[in-house]
Amino acid sequence: MILVTRLDRQTMFLNPDHIVSVEETPDTVITLFNGHHILVREHCQVILNRIIAFRSRILRRSGAVPNGHAYLRRQRNSRYHRSESEHFLTDDTKATLHPLHRQDT
């Protein structure tokens, strides 16, 4: 949620996922997907910076983006690769573990 200030100086939290557009006429108008309009004191760039900060905070907390430039390297999804223990299994054991994923030879 981002903090915005209405024209009457009342503060409110707004879900940035509900924002359709932000227009800066003399007053800044935020249009929500349900058709409501909110007039706020902040400029468009301030609102945009708050949305970016909010989303980056969400990504940081989820652990989805590694630190540094490691996000450029593709990480392998272990679900689709063999684990260390599967290398030592026999063909009969593999058939019982993954009967739907075995290719007919």
pLDDT, tens digit (0-9, with 9 covering 90-100), for 40-55: 999 999 999 999 999 9
pLDDT, tens digit (0-9, with 9 covering 90-100), for 52-65: 999 988 888 776 55
CA distance 91 to 81: 17
Task: Outline where 41-89 has alpha helix (H).
Answer: 44-62
Instruction: Please name the amino acid found at residue 44.
Output: C
**Angle subtended at Cα 49 by Cα 35 and Cα 38, rounded to the nearest 5 degrees:** 25
Judge whether 71 and 24 are in contact, CB under 8 Å: no
